[in-house]
Structure 1
Amino acid sequence: MQDVVKLTPRHSGAGELFQLLRDGRPRTRADLAAATGQARSTITARVDQLMSAGLIAPAGEASSTGGRPPTTFAFQPSARVVLAVDLGATHARLAVTDLASVVLAEGEAPIAIADGPDAVLRWVAEHGRKLVAEAGRSLGDLVSVGVGLPGPVEHATGRPINPPIMPTWDDADVRGLLSAELGGADVLVDNDVNLMALGEHRSAFPDVDDMLFVKVATGIGSGIISDGRLRRGAQGAAGDIGHIAVPGAEDVPCRCGNLGCLEAVASGRALAEELRREGLDAADGADVVALVRAGDLAAGRAVRQAGRELGGVLAACVSLLNPSLVVIGGVVAEAGEHLIAGIREVVYARSLPLATQHLRIVTSQARSEVGILGASAMAVDHVLSPVAIDALLEARIA
């Protein structure tokens, strides 16, 4: 499959012009000429190219200052669809969205990520095809697939790298396997928490330029938005806070092979194990949340303490990255104020006063949809980038 991050066509300029229209606001040719400084004839040619590809369409007439009212043009999100895939350790959520990330069809089901890439990705492809049909579209309308995985991913290649909870996925060609099953559509893969950060940012906090999204579920991880953009780091490992050592927890083994990791003491799995030792019936993070909601004091104390442990790590992150917002998501975040209170207690006490002066720590607004929204946004950003639009238009001419 072609490397989706290295499209290098000749630039027609229509792709750059299209970026002005992505917000959905109708504009006239004169508006576009004024915004770009390009000649009206150039604007007309490029608008015609984008219309012929179905990416924009007439959107009525603007107010006239004399003479015939000028036609406005706007983005057509329904021109194509993308498939968004959010895979967790024990669940899968899929959705078909338009190019504005509006969900057209969706579904979820329990899975076991430990079953390996062949079995899981075949299941994803099968259910993805069904959702495309359910949305009233054909596989030919599917232009991109965004996939979130619960482990480290080298974003440039889309390959998982030594993922602790999914060892059989190491170096799996996720892009190649899914693309072959889904009509050759471009496939992009990232760590699930990165996509949650992107989804939360786009859907709930688009005006926040610096934020940290933290997922507390079977594992713990974070996604970093800095200067309005998702930051993955050199190899895509930025934000992997779940495997930072917690002082005083040196004897607690972690699935990564080290001792005393944050994930080993504060994740949903760790909390469930702790409560089972106290005689409570808790198999996973969801059971922990159910106990908290039922008023169980031991569960409430355990979650509050997990918040404190998490807060100790986040205090360093806040001082280092200086976000204005920290969003807590994942199944354990549904325990209510117990987790958030523990986090706030430590972060506000230990971080630099300047870093916490206007810092907000809140629970996710997008909740269970956040991973799907992020996967869709990643896929859409790829196919609507200036380079991709120019490549599409040149292919239509060739």
Structure 2
Amino acid sequence: MGESMITGGAGAGVLLQLMRDGRPRTRAELTQLTGLARSTVGARVDLLLHKGLLAPAGEAVSTGGRPPATFAFNPSAGVVLAADIGATHATVAVTDLAAKVLAQREETMSITLGPRAVLDRMLQIGAELLAETGNSSVVGTGIGLPGPVEHSTGKPNNPPIMPGWDGYDVPGHVAAVLGGPVLVDNDVNLMALGEHAVVYPDVDHLLFVKIATGIGSGIITGGSLHRGAQGVAGDLGHVQAMGSPTAACRCGNVGCLEAVAAGPAIAAGVSAAGGSVAELINLVRAGDVEAANEVRAAGRRIGEVLAACVSLLNPSVVVLGGQLVIAAESLLAGVREVVYARSLPLATGSLQIVSARTGSQAGVLGAATMVLQHVLSPSEIDARLAV
């Protein structure tokens, strides 16, 4: 179709993508950037202004005559409800259309309560946060869950620590209250998305590893999240750990990395922790030598698996997140010790192995990013404007 035949809302989504960096631009600048006719750009800008997705941003510097008006992306045109649901906790947030957190709440919540109880509580918290922000224009909901998720349907797929969740219609449950779209993914995938979007937007190859009650990873390759054929790429916790052939894992297998290096496994090996991950973290923070040594040893075990990942994926950055990493620098040290020793110099010459900088917000930032990548895509914007 010729450019002159594209009018009204058609193609406005592409123009909006140019504006999502937040930089104010004039109609003339957009005409030059897109190569479209001035009248076409004008029609699309007017439509985006009418829908509130663009907003006036003052005037540009004049080169003579009346200063031209500038326009910028309007992140307050709607909000996203984002939830990071872990094994023992939930973080729920409301963000604007630039993934900026406007309100957030964290609370203890066991995933074993089942999908109805957990999702209903998430929706209740979400309603309270929406009331707090004063913006009820929800453009979509993003949810992270601590187990395998079939991303195309949003349904959990045989999650080992989520009784009652297998095949449950999570999007349908939430959409019945909030409407759609509702997007669901594994929690570590969303942490990878969040860390990448906020801290490393210019890094094309990144590996995010969460070390907490379990161990998992999210893979960014070519600047995009890699989910794999069935959405279970990055399931590091159930890779065979070296030297641990008999350690029983909750997945039903033996010798898994999670069974020897996740929080509960480390806590079981520290006498003063009494099997409690929370107490293990307290001991590490208090400088307990036994706890620090066990955590560093777990870091080495994780490093053995990550060394293979570094050789296979060749990331620029490996980010470690989760409650244990936040508390224990010794875990990060153990990982670095093995990865740098076992991987080829070409792969590790400029490799960064670092702690997550998004902290406890990584999951909700990723959930919001997932939704925004969908609802602000050119095709979705064009479909919305055509209505």
TM-score of the two chains, using structure 1 as the length reference: 0.93
AA partner of residue 51 (structure 1): L
Residues 311-365 of structure 1: CA distance to partner in whole angstroms, max 9, x if unpaired?
0000000000001111100011023321011101110111111101111111111
- Corresponding residue SS for 1:168: coil
Query: Residues 231-310 of structure 1 correspond to what in structure 2 (within 5 A)?
Result: 231-275=226-270, 278-284=271-277, 286-310=278-302
- Corresponding residue SS for 2:164: helix
Query: Residues 37-186 of structure 1 correspond to what in structure 2 (within 5 A)?
Result: 37-138=35-136, 141-182=137-178, 184-186=179-181
| Unmatched 5+ stretches in structure 1 | 1-9
> Residues 273 and 280 of structure 2 are in contact (CA less than 8 Å); yes or no, is this contact kept in structure 1?
no
> Residues 252 and 260 of structure 1 are in contact (CA less than 8 Å); yes or no, is this contact kept in structure 2?
yes
Give, in angstroms, the shift of residue 176 of structure 1.
0.4
AA partner of residue 380 (structure 1): L
CA shift in 2, pair 1:121/1:280, >3 Å: closer
AA partner of residue 32 (structure 2): A
CA shift in 2, pair 1:66/1:162, >3 Å: same
What fraction of aligned residue pairs are identical, expressed as a percent?
Answer: 62
AA partner of residue 64 (structure 1): S
> Residues 25 and 70 of structure 2 are in contact (CA less than 8 Å); yes or no, is this contact kept in structure 1?
yes
Match of 1:14 in 2: 12
> Residues 148 and 375 of structure 1 are in contact (CA less than 8 Å); yes or no, is this contact kept in structure 2?
yes
Q: Runs (4+) of structure 1 moved beyond 6 Å?
A: none
> Residues 308 and 342 of structure 1 are in contact (CA less than 8 Å); yes or no, is this contact kept in structure 2?
yes
Give, in angstroms, the shift of residue 229 of structure 1.
1.2
Give, in angstroms, the shift of residue 248 of structure 1.
1.4
Give, in angstroms, the shift of residue 272 of structure 1.
1.6
> Residues 288 and 332 of structure 1 are in contact (CA less than 8 Å); yes or no, is this contact kept in structure 2?
no
Give, in angstroms, the shift of residue 280 of structure 1.
3.4
Give, in angstroms, the shift of residue 279 of structure 1.
4.8
Give, in angstroms, the shift of residue 281 of structure 1.
3.2
Matches of 2:279 and 2:53, distance apart in 1? 46
Match of 2:31 in 1: 33
> Residues 85 and 145 of structure 2 are in contact (CA less than 8 Å); yes or no, is this contact kept in structure 1?
yes
Match of 2:384 in 1: 392
Give, in angstroms, the shift of residue 282 of structure 1.
4.1
Give, in angstroms, the shift of residue 167 of structure 1.
3.1
AA partner of residue 267 (structure 1): A
Residues 27-52 of structure 1: CA distance to partner in whole angstroms, max 9, x if unpaired?
11111111111000000111111111
Give, in angstroms, the shift of residue 108 of structure 1.
1.0
> Residues 211 and 226 of structure 1 are in contact (CA less than 8 Å); yes or no, is this contact kept in structure 2?
yes
CA shift in 2, pair 1:180/1:117, >3 Å: same
Greater alpha carbon shift after TM alignment, 144-153 vs 203-212: 203-212
- Corresponding residue SS for 1:27: coil
- Corresponding residue SS for 1:391: helix
Matches of 2:140 and 2:10, distance apart in 1? 22
AA partner of residue 375 (structure 1): A
Match of 1:6 in 2: none
Give, in angstroms, the shift of residue 274 of structure 1.
2.0
> Residues 268 and 274 of structure 2 are in contact (CA less than 8 Å); yes or no, is this contact kept in structure 1?
no
AA partner of residue 77 (structure 1): P
AA partner of residue 156 (structure 1): S
CA shift in 2, pair 1:53/1:332, >3 Å: same
AA partner of residue 281 (structure 1): G
AA partner of residue 22 (structure 2): G
Matches of 1:30 and 1:369, distance apart in 2? 39
Match of 1:4 in 2: none
- Corresponding residue SS for 2:196: helix
Alpha-carbon RMSD across the aligned residues, in angstroms, is 1.2
Of 334, 342, 352, the match for 1:342: 334
Give, in angstroms, the shift of residue 11 of structure 1.
7.6
Greater alpha carbon shift after TM alignment, 254-263 vs 64-73: 64-73
- Corresponding residue SS for 1:54: coil
- Corresponding residue SS for 1:326: strand
Residues 149-173 of structure 1: CA distance to partner in whole angstroms, max 9, x if unpaired?
0001111111110111113111110
- Corresponding residue SS for 1:235: coil
Matches of 2:261 and 2:273, distance apart in 1? 17
Matches of 1:82 and 1:328, distance apart in 2? 26
CA shift in 2, pair 1:43/1:266, >3 Å: same
- Corresponding residue SS for 2:40: helix
Residues 199-251 of structure 1: CA distance to partner in whole angstroms, max 9, x if unpaired?
11111122222111100000000011112111111111111111000121111
Matches of 1:219 and 1:205, distance apart in 2? 24
Matches of 1:309 and 1:334, distance apart in 2? 18
Matches of 1:112 and 1:319, distance apart in 2? 36
- Corresponding residue SS for 2:58: strand
Residues 77-128 of structure 1: CA distance to partner in whole angstroms, max 9, x if unpaired?
0000000100000000000010011111111111010111011111111111
> Residues 199 and 377 of structure 1 are in contact (CA less than 8 Å); yes or no, is this contact kept in structure 2?
yes
Matches of 2:303 and 2:212, distance apart in 1? 16
Of 214, 223, 239, the match for 1:219: 214
- Corresponding residue SS for 1:185: coil
Find out whether 1:313 has 2:305 as its counterpart: yes
CA shift in 2, pair 1:57/1:11, >3 Å: closer
